[in-house]
Chain A
Amino acid sequence: MTAGAHIPDTQLGDHLQVGTHSLASRLIVGTGKYASYELMGEALALSGTDCITVAVRRERLVDARGQNILDFLDTSRYTLLPNTAGCFSAEDAVRVARLGREILFGLENPGADWVKLEVLADTKTLLPDPVATLQATELLVADGFQVLCYTSDDPIVARRLKQAGATSVMPAGSPIGSGQGILNPNNIRICLEYLKDGDPDYPVIVDAGVGTASDVTIAMELGVDGVLLNTGIAHATDPLQMALAMKAGIEAGRLAYLAGRIPKKLYATASSPETGTIAPKPR
């Protein structure tokens, strides 16, 4: 038997399909909070991602260093996913989404037709405003966007967002930048059950809260289609090593999910034959 025969077909050419976008990596990485643009570029490359998020902000009228992130990104290599981070109303989120689309059209980047929708409710928790997120989803879908919704892990809200036309629902594992990992795996499980009911290919992506590689693996083992993270790499002591760890974590989790884990049991089951032992068993 050749080594290749051990690789399940599903793993060959495994990719993340989100609407019309086909991504080679199941890891989506943010571009914020790096110590330098050079470090960001290296970390993105090591993470194996081919999709990166960006934010839309006022151009500084006077920039002493004159640096723009676009001078440090190979936009032919990455599909950009513009976000609406920093918006606290549906109206502002729609404005920011349109501005992001305009810039990406100018760059001729394939990401011009989608948006990571983020409508926040307060600055302390950065938790999403579910009502405004739903309103913004409806408005953006009507405007032709493929909408990837950042939301809490509430399965009912997740289902409403899908019904409103979201291309992907992206429940948070825990608050943005908190590094707490997947706090409520049961809610993620229910989100998956509801969102994939009769629609197994519907993409569900865990967005936010990832602190380290095992968090990514746990999310993928639950059966989500991808993970979006930023701070976990950008603020690691060594972002480059962490980028490699996150890449390994996503692959491990995906493979383990496809492989199918053994059920958990209370008592032990021997791995070695129980018959033919030379030692007597205790009573």
Chain B
Amino acid sequence: MKILVNGTPREVPETTTVADLLSQLEMTASHVAVEVNLELVPRARHHEFQLREADRLEVVTLVGGG
């Protein structure tokens, strides 16, 4: 199925969870926060949160800023 991650289309298997996606992207879970369709998905729910077709995800981290 197709999802949108940080504005970029991405093809993922049907049963992909948020945790699966972060693992595919080789991201350190403690360094990021994830929003699906404008709603924050808390880290504790990453393993159970199933993604669906056309979900729009934001995967954010901390960067330098003032």
A interface, CB within 8 angstroms of B: 30-34, 37, 40, 53-59, 61, 68-70, 80, 82-83, 85, 95-96, 98-100, 102-103, 105-107, 176-177, 208, 228-231
**Within residues 3 to 42 of chain B, which ones have a CB less than 8 A from any CB in chain A?**
5-8, 25, 27-33, 35, 38, 40, 42
Q: B38 near A95 (CB under 8 angstroms)?
A: yes
B interface, CB within 8 angstroms of A: 5-8, 25, 27-33, 35, 38, 40, 42-43, 58-66
Nearest Cβ on chain A to B50's Cβ, whole angstroms:
19
Q: A230 near B66 (CB under 8 angstroms)?
A: yes
The answer to whether residues A32 and B60 also contact, given A61-B8, A95-B35, A102-B42 and a CB cut-off of 8 A, is: no
Docked pose: A101 CA to B58 CA in angstroms:
15
Nearest Cβ on chain A to B28's Cβ, whole angstroms:
7
Nearest Cβ on chain A to B56's Cβ, whole angstroms:
12
Q: B31 near A68 (CB under 8 angstroms)?
A: yes
Docked pose: A156 CA to B10 CA in angstroms:
48
Docked pose: A272 CA to B63 CA in angstroms:
57
Nearest Cβ on chain B to A114's Cβ, whole angstroms:
15
Q: B65 near A30 (CB under 8 angstroms)?
A: yes
Closest 6 CB pairs between A and B? A55-B65, A30-B66, A230-B66, A102-B33, A31-B64, A32-B64
Contact of B63 among A55, A61, A98 (CB under 8 A): A55
| A-side contacts of B42, CB under 8 Å | 102
Told that A56-B60, A56-B63 touch, could you supply 11 new A-B pairs with CB distance under 8 A? A32-B63, A34-B64, A55-B62, A56-B61, A57-B61, A57-B62, A58-B60, A61-B5, A61-B8, A82-B62, A230-B65
The answer to whether residues A68 and B61 also contact, given A59-B6, A102-B33 and a CB cut-off of 8 A, is: yes
Docked pose: A197 CA to B30 CA in angstroms:
42
Nearest Cβ on chain A to B27's Cβ, whole angstroms:
6
Q: A80 near B64 (CB under 8 angstroms)?
A: no
Docked pose: A96 CA to B65 CA in angstroms:
13
| A-side contacts of B30, CB under 8 Å | 106-107
The answer to whether residues A83 and B66 also contact, given A70-B31, A100-B33, A102-B33 and a CB cut-off of 8 A, is: yes
